[in-house]
Amino acid sequence: MHGAELLLELGAVILGLGILGRVAGRLGLSPIPLYLLAGLAFGKGGLLPLVTASEFIQPGAEIGVILLLLLLGIEYSAEELTGALRRSTAAGMVDLALNFTPGLAAGLLLGWPLLAAVVLGGVTYVSSSGIAAKLLGDLGRLGNRETPVVLSILVLEDLTMAAYLPILTGLLAAGSVLAKVVPVVVALASVVAVLAVTVRWGAAISRLVFTPNDEVLLLVILGLALLVAGLAQQLQVSAAVGAFLVGIAISGPAAASAGPLLAPLRDLFAAVFFVFFGLQTDPAQLPDVALPALGLAVVTALTKIVAGWWAARRASIGLAGRLRAGTMLVARGEFSIVIAGLAVAAGLHTRLGPLTTAYVLSLAVLGPLVTRAADPLAAILRRPARPAGGQPAVSPPTPAPRTGAERPPSNDGDKPVTTP
Protein backbone atom coordinates (compact mmCIF):
# COMPACT_ATOMS: atom_id res chain seq x y z
CA MET A 1 0.00 0.00 0.00
CA HIS A 2 2.85 2.34 0.85
CA GLY A 3 4.35 1.77 -2.62
CA ALA A 4 1.03 2.55 -4.28
CA GLU A 5 0.70 5.80 -2.32
CA LEU A 6 4.24 6.80 -3.31
CA LEU A 7 3.55 6.18 -7.00
CA LEU A 8 0.24 8.05 -6.87
CA GLU A 9 1.73 11.10 -5.15
CA LEU A 10 4.88 11.13 -7.27
CA GLY A 11 2.92 10.70 -10.48
CA ALA A 12 0.57 13.52 -9.53
CA VAL A 13 3.51 15.83 -8.70
CA ILE A 14 5.40 15.16 -11.95
CA LEU A 15 2.26 15.40 -14.08
CA GLY A 16 1.36 18.64 -12.34
CA LEU A 17 4.83 20.03 -13.04
CA GLY A 18 4.43 19.12 -16.70
CA ILE A 19 1.13 20.99 -16.88
CA LEU A 20 2.64 24.02 -15.12
CA GLY A 21 5.60 24.00 -17.52
CA ARG A 22 3.19 23.98 -20.46
CA VAL A 23 1.21 26.89 -18.98
CA ALA A 24 4.44 28.85 -18.42
CA GLY A 25 5.46 28.24 -22.04
CA ARG A 26 2.10 29.54 -23.28
CA LEU A 27 2.53 32.68 -21.17
CA GLY A 28 6.13 33.20 -22.32
CA LEU A 29 7.44 32.89 -18.75
CA SER A 30 9.99 30.74 -16.97
CA PRO A 31 8.40 27.74 -15.19
CA ILE A 32 10.53 28.34 -12.07
CA PRO A 33 7.99 30.55 -10.22
CA LEU A 34 5.22 28.04 -10.94
CA TYR A 35 7.37 25.18 -9.62
CA LEU A 36 8.01 27.17 -6.44
CA LEU A 37 4.27 27.80 -6.05
CA ALA A 38 3.66 24.05 -6.48
CA GLY A 39 6.12 23.39 -3.65
CA LEU A 40 4.30 25.89 -1.45
CA ALA A 41 0.99 24.18 -2.23
CA PHE A 42 2.34 20.69 -1.44
CA GLY A 43 4.36 21.65 1.67
CA LYS A 44 3.49 22.11 5.33
CA GLY A 45 0.69 24.62 5.65
CA GLY A 46 -0.14 24.23 1.95
CA LEU A 47 -3.31 23.04 0.25
CA LEU A 48 -2.31 19.37 -0.27
CA PRO A 49 0.67 18.40 1.90
CA LEU A 50 2.62 15.41 0.57
CA VAL A 51 2.81 12.32 2.77
CA THR A 52 5.08 9.74 1.09
CA ALA A 53 6.54 11.36 -2.05
CA SER A 54 8.92 13.50 0.04
CA GLU A 55 11.07 10.35 0.42
CA PHE A 56 11.88 10.64 -3.30
CA ILE A 57 11.77 14.43 -3.62
CA GLN A 58 14.60 15.17 -1.16
CA PRO A 59 17.28 13.00 -2.87
CA GLY A 60 15.83 14.03 -6.23
CA ALA A 61 16.40 17.67 -5.27
CA GLU A 62 20.06 16.92 -4.44
CA ILE A 63 20.51 15.26 -7.83
CA GLY A 64 18.85 18.30 -9.43
CA VAL A 65 21.47 20.67 -7.97
CA ILE A 66 24.27 18.35 -9.11
CA LEU A 67 22.90 18.18 -12.66
CA LEU A 68 22.38 21.96 -12.82
CA LEU A 69 26.04 22.59 -11.97
CA LEU A 70 27.31 19.69 -14.09
CA LEU A 71 25.57 21.03 -17.22
CA LEU A 72 26.75 24.53 -16.40
CA GLY A 73 30.35 23.31 -16.33
CA ILE A 74 29.88 21.34 -19.58
CA GLU A 75 28.63 24.48 -21.36
CA TYR A 76 31.96 26.25 -20.81
CA SER A 77 35.46 25.13 -21.61
CA ALA A 78 38.32 26.26 -19.41
CA GLU A 79 39.54 28.48 -22.27
CA GLU A 80 36.16 30.23 -22.42
CA LEU A 81 36.16 30.82 -18.68
CA THR A 82 39.67 32.23 -18.61
CA GLY A 83 38.97 34.28 -21.77
CA ALA A 84 35.84 35.80 -20.25
CA LEU A 85 37.81 36.56 -17.11
CA ARG A 86 40.39 38.49 -19.13
CA ARG A 87 37.89 40.35 -21.34
CA SER A 88 35.16 41.32 -18.91
CA THR A 89 36.75 41.65 -15.48
CA ALA A 90 35.71 45.32 -15.16
CA ALA A 91 32.09 44.57 -16.11
CA GLY A 92 32.05 41.63 -13.71
CA MET A 93 33.31 43.77 -10.84
CA VAL A 94 30.66 46.43 -11.52
CA ASP A 95 27.98 43.73 -11.64
CA LEU A 96 29.21 42.25 -8.34
CA ALA A 97 29.36 45.62 -6.57
CA LEU A 98 25.94 46.78 -7.77
CA ASN A 99 24.05 43.55 -7.10
CA PHE A 100 25.73 41.87 -4.13
CA THR A 101 25.65 45.04 -2.03
CA PRO A 102 21.82 45.51 -1.94
CA GLY A 103 21.28 42.00 -0.60
CA LEU A 104 24.04 42.36 1.98
CA ALA A 105 22.70 45.76 3.09
CA ALA A 106 19.11 44.50 3.23
CA GLY A 107 20.09 41.57 5.45
CA LEU A 108 21.92 43.86 7.86
CA LEU A 109 19.05 46.38 7.91
CA LEU A 110 16.63 43.55 8.73
CA GLY A 111 18.80 42.71 11.75
CA TRP A 112 20.03 39.38 10.39
CA PRO A 113 23.42 37.88 11.33
CA LEU A 114 26.31 38.81 9.03
CA LEU A 115 26.48 35.34 7.46
CA ALA A 116 22.75 35.42 6.60
CA ALA A 117 23.27 38.85 5.01
CA VAL A 118 26.17 37.45 2.97
CA VAL A 119 23.89 34.66 1.75
CA LEU A 120 21.22 37.19 0.76
CA GLY A 121 23.90 39.14 -1.13
CA GLY A 122 24.64 36.02 -3.16
CA VAL A 123 20.93 35.52 -3.82
CA THR A 124 20.57 39.04 -5.25
CA TYR A 125 23.86 38.94 -7.15
CA VAL A 126 23.55 36.03 -9.55
CA SER A 127 21.27 36.23 -12.59
CA SER A 128 19.44 33.21 -13.96
CA SER A 129 21.59 31.99 -16.86
CA GLY A 130 18.84 29.47 -17.71
CA ILE A 131 16.14 32.13 -18.11
CA ALA A 132 18.55 34.44 -19.97
CA ALA A 133 19.58 31.71 -22.42
CA LYS A 134 15.93 30.85 -23.12
CA LEU A 135 15.03 34.50 -23.69
CA LEU A 136 17.96 35.01 -26.08
CA GLY A 137 16.70 32.12 -28.21
CA ASP A 138 12.99 32.93 -27.98
CA LEU A 139 13.48 36.61 -28.90
CA GLY A 140 15.96 35.88 -31.71
CA ARG A 141 18.78 37.86 -30.11
CA LEU A 142 21.59 35.30 -30.31
CA GLY A 143 23.22 37.26 -33.15
CA ASN A 144 22.83 40.71 -31.58
CA ARG A 145 25.86 42.85 -30.79
CA GLU A 146 25.03 43.02 -27.08
CA THR A 147 24.71 39.24 -26.67
CA PRO A 148 28.47 38.56 -26.18
CA VAL A 149 28.44 41.21 -23.43
CA VAL A 150 25.52 39.48 -21.69
CA LEU A 151 27.12 36.04 -22.03
CA SER A 152 30.47 37.30 -20.66
CA ILE A 153 28.75 38.68 -17.56
CA LEU A 154 26.84 35.42 -17.05
CA VAL A 155 30.06 33.40 -17.42
CA LEU A 156 31.80 35.59 -14.84
CA GLU A 157 28.87 35.18 -12.45
CA ASP A 158 29.05 31.41 -12.84
CA LEU A 159 32.81 31.48 -12.27
CA THR A 160 32.24 33.59 -9.17
CA MET A 161 29.78 30.95 -7.96
CA ALA A 162 32.55 28.35 -8.26
CA ALA A 163 34.43 30.33 -5.60
CA TYR A 164 31.45 31.62 -3.61
CA LEU A 165 29.71 28.26 -3.03
CA PRO A 166 32.67 26.49 -1.37
CA ILE A 167 33.35 29.56 0.77
CA LEU A 168 29.70 29.64 1.82
CA THR A 169 29.64 25.89 2.48
CA GLY A 170 32.71 26.19 4.71
CA LEU A 171 31.24 29.11 6.65
CA LEU A 172 27.96 27.24 7.16
CA ALA A 173 29.75 24.14 8.49
CA ALA A 174 29.71 23.58 12.24
CA GLY A 175 32.94 23.56 14.20
CA SER A 176 35.98 25.71 14.90
CA VAL A 177 37.45 28.36 12.63
CA LEU A 178 40.02 25.83 11.39
CA ALA A 179 37.26 23.36 10.55
CA LYS A 180 35.60 26.07 8.43
CA VAL A 181 38.79 27.27 6.71
CA VAL A 182 40.15 23.89 5.57
CA PRO A 183 37.21 22.98 3.27
CA VAL A 184 37.27 26.46 1.73
CA VAL A 185 40.99 26.20 0.94
CA VAL A 186 40.56 22.68 -0.45
CA ALA A 187 37.64 23.72 -2.67
CA LEU A 188 39.32 26.85 -4.04
CA ALA A 189 42.54 24.93 -4.71
CA SER A 190 40.48 22.27 -6.51
CA VAL A 191 38.84 24.88 -8.76
CA VAL A 192 42.21 26.34 -9.73
CA ALA A 193 43.73 22.88 -10.26
CA VAL A 194 40.87 21.66 -12.46
CA LEU A 195 41.03 24.81 -14.60
CA ALA A 196 44.79 24.38 -15.03
CA VAL A 197 44.54 20.66 -15.83
CA THR A 198 41.69 21.22 -18.30
CA VAL A 199 43.55 23.97 -20.16
CA ARG A 200 46.60 21.72 -20.51
CA TRP A 201 45.09 18.24 -20.93
CA GLY A 202 41.42 18.90 -21.72
CA ALA A 203 41.58 17.14 -25.10
CA ALA A 204 43.11 14.01 -23.56
CA ILE A 205 40.46 13.89 -20.82
CA SER A 206 37.73 14.28 -23.41
CA ARG A 207 39.11 11.40 -25.49
CA LEU A 208 39.30 9.21 -22.38
CA VAL A 209 35.65 9.86 -21.44
CA PHE A 210 34.10 9.98 -24.90
CA THR A 211 32.38 7.01 -26.50
CA PRO A 212 30.03 7.02 -29.51
CA ASN A 213 27.57 4.86 -27.53
CA ASP A 214 25.09 7.36 -25.98
CA GLU A 215 24.00 4.97 -23.24
CA VAL A 216 27.55 4.32 -22.04
CA LEU A 217 28.50 8.00 -22.27
CA LEU A 218 25.47 9.02 -20.19
CA LEU A 219 26.22 6.41 -17.51
CA VAL A 220 29.93 7.29 -17.34
CA ILE A 221 29.47 11.06 -17.02
CA LEU A 222 26.49 10.89 -14.65
CA GLY A 223 28.22 8.30 -12.47
CA LEU A 224 31.43 10.34 -12.42
CA ALA A 225 29.55 13.50 -11.45
CA LEU A 226 27.68 11.78 -8.60
CA LEU A 227 30.89 10.12 -7.38
CA VAL A 228 32.88 13.36 -7.33
CA ALA A 229 29.95 15.23 -5.74
CA GLY A 230 29.80 12.62 -2.99
CA LEU A 231 33.54 12.82 -2.37
CA ALA A 232 33.31 16.63 -2.27
CA GLN A 233 30.57 16.43 0.34
CA GLN A 234 32.66 14.02 2.40
CA LEU A 235 35.42 16.66 2.42
CA GLN A 236 32.89 19.30 3.61
CA VAL A 237 32.95 20.91 0.16
CA SER A 238 29.73 21.59 -1.73
CA ALA A 239 28.58 18.66 -3.87
CA ALA A 240 27.46 21.23 -6.46
CA VAL A 241 31.02 22.54 -6.79
CA GLY A 242 32.30 18.99 -7.33
CA ALA A 243 29.80 18.51 -10.15
CA PHE A 244 30.76 21.86 -11.66
CA LEU A 245 34.42 20.83 -11.73
CA VAL A 246 33.53 17.58 -13.51
CA GLY A 247 31.63 19.59 -16.10
CA ILE A 248 34.57 21.94 -16.72
CA ALA A 249 36.95 18.99 -17.11
CA ILE A 250 34.79 17.51 -19.90
CA SER A 251 35.21 19.26 -23.24
CA GLY A 252 35.27 18.63 -26.97
CA PRO A 253 33.16 15.80 -28.45
CA ALA A 254 32.35 14.38 -25.01
CA ALA A 255 30.81 17.68 -23.88
CA ALA A 256 28.98 18.18 -27.20
CA SER A 257 27.39 14.73 -26.96
CA ALA A 258 26.75 14.71 -23.20
CA GLY A 259 24.87 18.02 -23.10
CA PRO A 260 21.78 16.88 -25.08
CA LEU A 261 21.76 13.53 -23.25
CA LEU A 262 21.81 15.06 -19.78
CA ALA A 263 19.52 18.05 -20.45
CA PRO A 264 16.21 16.16 -20.00
CA LEU A 265 17.43 14.63 -16.74
CA ARG A 266 18.54 18.08 -15.55
CA ASP A 267 15.16 19.60 -16.38
CA LEU A 268 13.28 16.85 -14.52
CA PHE A 269 15.38 16.89 -11.37
CA ALA A 270 15.77 20.69 -11.39
CA ALA A 271 11.96 20.95 -11.34
CA VAL A 272 11.96 18.55 -8.37
CA PHE A 273 14.57 20.75 -6.67
CA PHE A 274 12.43 23.89 -7.00
CA VAL A 275 9.42 21.99 -5.63
CA PHE A 276 11.54 20.76 -2.70
CA PHE A 277 12.64 24.33 -1.89
CA GLY A 278 8.99 25.38 -1.93
CA LEU A 279 8.13 22.45 0.34
CA GLN A 280 10.54 23.81 2.95
CA THR A 281 8.84 27.22 2.97
CA ASP A 282 5.78 27.87 5.10
CA PRO A 283 3.30 29.95 3.04
CA ALA A 284 2.15 31.64 6.27
CA GLN A 285 5.57 33.34 6.48
CA LEU A 286 5.37 34.96 3.03
CA PRO A 287 3.20 37.98 4.00
CA ASP A 288 5.78 39.01 6.61
CA VAL A 289 8.58 39.15 4.01
CA ALA A 290 6.56 40.32 1.00
CA LEU A 291 7.40 44.03 1.36
CA PRO A 292 11.19 43.57 1.85
CA ALA A 293 11.27 41.05 -1.01
CA LEU A 294 9.41 43.33 -3.44
CA GLY A 295 11.53 46.34 -2.46
CA LEU A 296 14.71 44.33 -2.95
CA ALA A 297 13.39 43.03 -6.30
CA VAL A 298 12.80 46.58 -7.58
CA VAL A 299 16.21 47.83 -6.43
CA THR A 300 18.17 44.88 -7.85
CA ALA A 301 16.23 44.93 -11.12
CA LEU A 302 17.45 48.50 -11.58
CA THR A 303 21.02 47.67 -10.53
CA LYS A 304 21.15 44.78 -13.05
CA ILE A 305 19.94 47.09 -15.80
CA VAL A 306 22.62 49.62 -14.84
CA ALA A 307 25.33 46.92 -14.85
CA GLY A 308 24.30 45.63 -18.29
CA TRP A 309 23.93 49.17 -19.65
CA TRP A 310 27.43 50.10 -18.43
CA ALA A 311 29.03 46.99 -19.91
CA ALA A 312 27.26 47.44 -23.27
CA ARG A 313 28.14 51.13 -23.42
CA ARG A 314 31.77 50.23 -22.75
CA ALA A 315 31.54 47.97 -25.82
CA SER A 316 30.26 50.93 -27.91
CA ILE A 317 26.75 49.49 -28.28
CA GLY A 318 23.79 51.78 -28.94
CA LEU A 319 20.86 52.73 -26.74
CA ALA A 320 18.56 49.82 -27.63
CA GLY A 321 21.39 47.29 -27.22
CA ARG A 322 22.27 48.72 -23.78
CA LEU A 323 18.68 48.34 -22.63
CA ARG A 324 18.46 44.82 -24.01
CA ALA A 325 21.71 43.85 -22.25
CA GLY A 326 20.56 45.26 -18.90
CA THR A 327 17.06 43.82 -18.94
CA MET A 328 18.34 40.38 -20.00
CA LEU A 329 20.13 40.12 -16.63
CA VAL A 330 17.16 41.03 -14.41
CA ALA A 331 15.69 37.55 -13.84
CA ARG A 332 16.88 35.53 -10.84
CA GLY A 333 16.24 31.82 -10.64
CA GLU A 334 18.04 28.53 -10.18
CA PHE A 335 21.29 29.63 -8.54
CA SER A 336 19.63 32.07 -6.15
CA ILE A 337 17.59 29.08 -4.93
CA VAL A 338 20.72 26.88 -4.74
CA ILE A 339 22.47 29.46 -2.54
CA ALA A 340 19.49 29.92 -0.25
CA GLY A 341 18.93 26.15 -0.15
CA LEU A 342 22.37 25.59 1.36
CA ALA A 343 21.67 28.12 4.09
CA VAL A 344 18.15 26.82 4.79
CA ALA A 345 19.48 23.25 5.08
CA ALA A 346 22.02 24.50 7.64
CA GLY A 347 19.23 26.20 9.64
CA LEU A 348 20.82 29.62 9.26
CA HIS A 349 17.77 31.92 9.48
CA THR A 350 14.05 31.21 9.49
CA ARG A 351 13.08 34.14 7.23
CA LEU A 352 15.75 33.54 4.58
CA GLY A 353 13.80 30.82 2.75
CA PRO A 354 10.48 32.70 2.54
CA LEU A 355 12.17 35.96 1.50
CA THR A 356 14.19 34.21 -1.22
CA THR A 357 11.05 32.47 -2.48
CA ALA A 358 9.13 35.74 -2.75
CA TYR A 359 12.14 37.50 -4.30
CA VAL A 360 12.76 34.86 -6.97
CA LEU A 361 9.04 34.61 -7.73
CA SER A 362 8.97 38.36 -8.37
CA LEU A 363 12.02 38.59 -10.63
CA ALA A 364 11.49 35.30 -12.49
CA VAL A 365 8.21 36.85 -13.68
CA LEU A 366 9.35 40.47 -14.01
CA GLY A 367 12.61 39.66 -15.83
CA PRO A 368 11.10 38.25 -19.06
CA LEU A 369 8.49 41.03 -19.10
CA VAL A 370 11.01 43.89 -18.93
CA THR A 371 13.26 42.10 -21.44
CA ARG A 372 10.43 42.02 -23.98
CA ALA A 373 9.74 45.72 -23.27
CA ALA A 374 13.35 46.81 -23.95
CA ASP A 375 12.90 47.68 -27.65
CA PRO A 376 9.61 49.62 -27.20
CA LEU A 377 11.20 51.52 -24.30
CA ALA A 378 14.24 52.34 -26.43
CA ALA A 379 11.93 53.68 -29.17
CA ILE A 380 10.22 55.93 -26.62
CA LEU A 381 13.54 57.23 -25.33
CA ARG A 382 14.69 57.99 -28.89
CA ARG A 383 11.52 59.97 -29.68
CA PRO A 384 12.26 63.72 -29.87
CA ALA A 385 10.92 65.72 -26.96
CA ARG A 386 8.04 68.17 -27.57
CA PRO A 387 8.71 71.87 -27.03
CA ALA A 388 7.16 73.80 -24.15
CA GLY A 389 3.41 74.23 -24.54
CA GLY A 390 2.80 70.63 -25.57
CA GLN A 391 2.68 71.23 -29.32
CA PRO A 392 4.93 69.12 -31.52
CA ALA A 393 7.78 70.91 -33.23
CA VAL A 394 6.90 72.07 -36.75
CA SER A 395 9.44 71.19 -39.39
CA PRO A 396 10.47 74.02 -41.71
CA PRO A 397 8.97 73.87 -45.21
CA THR A 398 10.92 71.82 -47.68
CA PRO A 399 12.32 74.03 -50.46
CA ALA A 400 11.23 73.29 -54.01
CA PRO A 401 13.69 71.07 -55.88
CA ARG A 402 16.11 72.79 -58.18
CA THR A 403 16.29 71.93 -61.80
CA GLY A 404 18.99 71.66 -64.36
CA ALA A 405 22.24 73.36 -63.55
CA GLU A 406 20.90 74.69 -60.24
CA ARG A 407 20.76 71.16 -58.73
CA PRO A 408 23.95 70.38 -56.72
CA PRO A 409 25.64 67.01 -57.03
CA SER A 410 23.93 64.28 -54.92
CA ASN A 411 25.69 62.72 -51.92
CA ASP A 412 24.30 59.73 -49.93
CA GLY A 413 26.75 60.13 -47.04
CA ASP A 414 29.11 57.31 -48.11
CA LYS A 415 30.08 58.13 -51.65
CA PRO A 416 32.37 61.09 -52.38
CA VAL A 417 30.93 64.01 -54.30
CA THR A 418 32.25 64.21 -57.83
CA THR A 419 32.15 67.30 -60.01
CA PRO A 420 32.48 67.38 -63.77
Number of domains in the chain: 1
pLDDT at 282: 78
* Structural domain includes residue 58: no
pLDDT in tens, 386-419: 555 555 555 555 555 544 444 444 333 333 444 3
* Structural domain includes residue 68: yes
Q: Residue 306's Cα: distance from chain center in Å?
A: 17
Sign of CA dihedral 356, 361, 362, 363: positive
- The CATH number of the domain where 354 resides is what? 1.20.1530.20
- Residues near 108 by Cβ (< 8 Å), separated by ≥ 6? 114, 117
Q: Indicate the range of 9-18, 180-189, 297-306 predicted with least confidence.
A: 180-189
pTM: 0.76
* Structural domain includes residue 280: yes
* Structural domain includes residue 166: yes
* Structural domain includes residue 34: no
* Structural domain includes residue 114: yes
* Structural domain includes residue 42: no
Give the pLDDT band (50/70/90) at residue 420. very low
Domain limits for position 240: 64-382
pLDDT at 413: 36
**248 touches 195 (CB < 8 A):** yes
Q: Is 280 helix (H, G, I), strand (E, B) or coil?
A: coil
* Structural domain includes residue 241: yes
Q: Which residue has the higher pLDDT, 20 or 170?
A: 20
pLDDT at 296: 96
